[in-house]
Structure 1
Amino acid sequence: MGFFRNQLSNVIEWNEFRDDMIFWKWNNTEIKKGSRLIIRPGQDAVFFHNGKIEGIFTDEGDYNIESEIIPFLSTLKGFKFGFNSGMRVEIMFVNTKEFTVKWGTKNAIHIPTPQLPGGLPIRANGTFQFKVNDYITLMDKIAGVKNSYLVEDVKIRITAILDQLLMKWITKEGKDMFNLQANAFDIAKGIGEDLDMEIMDSGLTITGFNIMSFNYPKEIREMITKTASHGMIGDMSRYQQVSMTDGISSGKIKGGGAASDMAGIMMGMGMAKEMMKNMNETQSQTPPSSSNEPSMEGKKRPNFCPNCGTKTSGGNFCSNCGQRLG
């Protein structure tokens, strides 16, 4: 009799568990007398009957269905196993962990900007996190028609609308198109909120959205680098001087040839021009002499030094004693 009873019992557990699987439905015709439920760490077991949640079991362990599970099912508390009858319910195992997914734009997004009529082409990449938060909605919208659901399914849905959301939040509030990384946090926050609204109807929630980097085309990166260099050096003439010096020192402009001679002449002329410019600026900034100081011009000098009597020679000081004569 014991052998016959074992034939009617079964073990209910997540047989096809994968780290990237969000839920898995136990598909059997009925639960038999003597059956057991096994819940492993990071799993919840949700019992459904006629589309309604009967009970949610979150603690890991090995449970006897008849004595430890049925007494907690909302409308099946009085269920009694008969000799040939089993309990017909649906059991959904849910992965309770937070999933982290990497994302990246497949094609460049052309962001409208006045500087570039065709738009600024950029790519972006980062990560987002999500988890299950509503078992009823998950059962109604997804588990009702699917036996399992993978992280890849969610990723496909998210990336399908990600380009639109990037466009929306990048162009919002007139952000600097050539320094988007400075606004990455605000852009990511807005996108995360929109994505959460998008997948809420599936029983999921976005717990985090991050932008690791914005990537510009090579030509745009070079332009940004040059602009930054010019700003650091101060003006174009100094930039040319530094570029010429760097070229000679790095060997790109080698000595002994006409190119090197011409480079040296141009650099010398540029430096001389800059020195003359600085001298003129210095002279123009020198304050004029005070009008209160007495001028030697217009004053008549004495023929003899009033101090020692020596005959003067037209100078400002006496040649004998050094007395000032004017």
Structure 2
Amino acid sequence: MSKPTSQLPFLEIIEWVEQDPNLMMWKIPDGDKEIKNGAKLIVRESQSALLLNEGTVADVFTAGTHSLETKNIPVLSRLKGWKYGFESPFKADVYFFAVRQFINLKWGTPAPVVLRDPQFGQVRVRAFGTYNVRISDIPRFFKEYAGTYPRLSIFEFEQQLRDFIAPKFGEVLATANISVLDIAGSLTTLNERIAPLIKPYFDDFGIGVTQFTITSATLPEEVTQFYDKVTGMNMVGDMTRFQQFNTAIAISQEGNPAQSGTQQGLAMGLMMGQLNNAQEPGSAGQQQATPAGGDLTAKLQQLKTLFEGGLIDEEEYKVKKAGLLAQL
């Protein structure tokens, strides 16, 4: 950042050479000096400058070299108290703004969003993402937020924006009627719904959102475990094989952790071998007749597995169990 030479009685060249890429706004430290009538204001690409006089926005300047003359600044020429006419120096505060994009800003849900799901009931969902912004309306941004700061970084502004995005995510998710198991495949749809909702809030600050993205949505551990069980059950096809599958997984998790990989491989191989034998035409599994009593015992065991796994409730378990026992 270049500062005017202290020996000069007036500010003659005013410019901002950015050194911190995270600064959104910086006020020229003029030391209460006046601006020489006809001074040069240098505004670089990706910058804008604002002149403030007696609490009033005098003008906004975009990229280029500008001659600061009171006759060229309508607000200054209308102010009262000009004793020396338009040729005298004048007092004004000069603020520079970075109007490029600030990218890859982070947002997330500080607390899980409670979602009502038709399959799982109330489920807690967390989400994370990124967004890009740029200052789109200098006077509004200065008035609504930045006016009390001599300098402002994107980090100071980001926290306030992030706290607003999270509730909007929860609002959209609650009205989208998307199953929690389908959220991962619906991120594009959620992005499109959330962006218009947060835009008015950003507009109120003179900020434009150039990109908004949900990068991930995570489900509670219990939902993930249930989903894994359903997937495993669908993989093996029927409850007998589902029980064999659970047994194989349990075997793989026992013993020395260093051997868990080998055990899991053996268990899965054993399970797959059993499934292949059961599916081969003419196999012993298909040819051997199962006694009625053994078949009933297997059904009771399957029913107990369903109940313990939380796939049926206690009332269903009792009714089904009573029906099986009545066959004895």
Instruction: Tell whether the structures are fold-level matches, with TM greater than 0.5.
Output: yes
Following superposition, the deviation at residue 173 of structure 1 comes to 3.4
Name the SS of the counterpart of 2:202 in structure 1.
Answer: helix
| Rounded Cα–Cα distance in structure 2 between residues aligned with 1:163 and 1:102 | 11
| Rounded Cα–Cα distance in structure 2 between residues aligned with 1:97 and 1:241 | 60
Equivalence for 1:14: 16
- 138, 144, 150: which is aligned to 2:141? 138
> Residue by residue, what CA displacement relative to the aligned partner does 1:222-274 show, whole Å, maximum 9, x if unpaired?
322332343344333344456667879x742899xxx9xx9999879966686
Which runs of 5 or more structure 1 residues have no equivalent in the other structure? Answer: 278-326
Following superposition, the deviation at residue 162 of structure 1 comes to 3.0
> Residue by residue, what CA displacement relative to the aligned partner does 1:115-151 show, whole Å, maximum 9, x if unpaired?
445x312221110121111122122222332323322
| Rounded Cα–Cα distance in structure 1 between residues aligned with 2:271 and 2:7 | 99
Given that residues 37 and 64 in structure 1 are in contact (C-alpha distance below 8 angstroms), is that contact kept between their aligned partners in structure 2? Answer: yes
Alignment of 1:261-280 (within 5 A): 275-276=286-287
Q: Which amino acid aligns with 1:13?
A: E
Following superposition, the deviation at residue 211 of structure 1 comes to 0.4
1:113 maps onto 2:117 in alignment: yes
Equivalence for 1:55: 59
Given that residues 169 and 191 in structure 1 are in contact (C-alpha distance below 8 angstroms), is that contact kept between their aligned partners in structure 2? Answer: yes
> Residue by residue, what CA displacement relative to the aligned partner does 1:161-190 show, whole Å, maximum 9, x if unpaired?
333222211121321112211221222222
Alignment of 1:276-287 (within 5 A): 276=287
- 188, 196, 202: which is aligned to 2:199? 196
| Rounded Cα–Cα distance in structure 1 between residues aligned with 2:43 and 2:263 | 69
How many residues align structurally?
Answer: 261
| Rounded Cα–Cα distance in structure 2 between residues aligned with 1:176 and 1:253 | 32
Alignment of 1:290-305 (within 5 A): none
Name the SS of the counterpart of 1:206 in structure 2.
Answer: strand
- 155, 158, 182: which is aligned to 1:152? 155
Name the SS of the counterpart of 2:35 in structure 1.
Answer: coil
Name the SS of the counterpart of 2:227 in structure 1.
Answer: helix
| Rounded Cα–Cα distance in structure 2 between residues aligned with 1:120 and 1:47 | 52
- 150, 160, 166: which is aligned to 2:169? 166
Following superposition, the deviation at residue 201 of structure 1 comes to 1.7
| Rounded Cα–Cα distance in structure 2 between residues aligned with 1:38 and 1:153 | 27
> Residue by residue, what CA displacement relative to the aligned partner does 1:91-118 show, whole Å, maximum 9, x if unpaired?
221111111201222333332335445x
Alignment of 1:175-194 (within 5 A): 175-194=178-197
CA RMSD, aligned part only?
3.9
Equivalence for 2:301: none
Q: Which amino acid aligns with 2:238?
A: D
Q: Which amino acid aligns with 1:252?
A: Q
| Rounded Cα–Cα distance in structure 1 between residues aligned with 2:273 and 2:199 | 65
| Rounded Cα–Cα distance in structure 1 between residues aligned with 2:246 and 2:12 | 79
- 33, 38, 41: which is aligned to 1:37? 41
Following superposition, the deviation at residue 40 of structure 1 comes to 2.8
Q: 1:220 to 1:10 in 2, by over 3 A?
A: same
Which runs of 5 or more structure 2 residues have no equivalent in the other structure? Answer: 1-5, 79-84, 253-260, 289-328
- Higher mean Cα deviation, 178-187 or 17-26? 17-26
Name the SS of the counterpart of 1:189 in structure 2.
Answer: helix
Following superposition, the deviation at residue 199 of structure 1 comes to 2.5
Q: 1:38 to 1:222 in 2, by over 3 A?
A: same
Equivalence for 2:74: 74
Question: Could you tell me the percent identity over the aligned residues?
Answer: 20
Which protein is richer in helix relative to its size?
2
| Rounded Cα–Cα distance in structure 2 between residues aligned with 1:144 and 1:194 | 26
| Rounded Cα–Cα distance in structure 2 between residues aligned with 1:174 and 1:60 | 51
1:209 maps onto 2:212 in alignment: yes
- Higher mean Cα deviation, 192-201 or 226-235? 226-235
Q: Which amino acid aligns with 1:140?
A: K
| Rounded Cα–Cα distance in structure 2 between residues aligned with 1:264 and 1:93 | 69
Q: 1:173 to 1:110 in 2, by over 3 A?
A: closer
| Rounded Cα–Cα distance in structure 2 between residues aligned with 1:153 and 1:235 | 57
Given that residues 12 and 38 in structure 1 are in contact (C-alpha distance below 8 angstroms), is that contact kept between their aligned partners in structure 2? Answer: yes
Equivalence for 1:230: 233
Q: Which amino acid aligns with 2:87?
A: F
Normalising by structure 2, we get a TM-score of 0.64
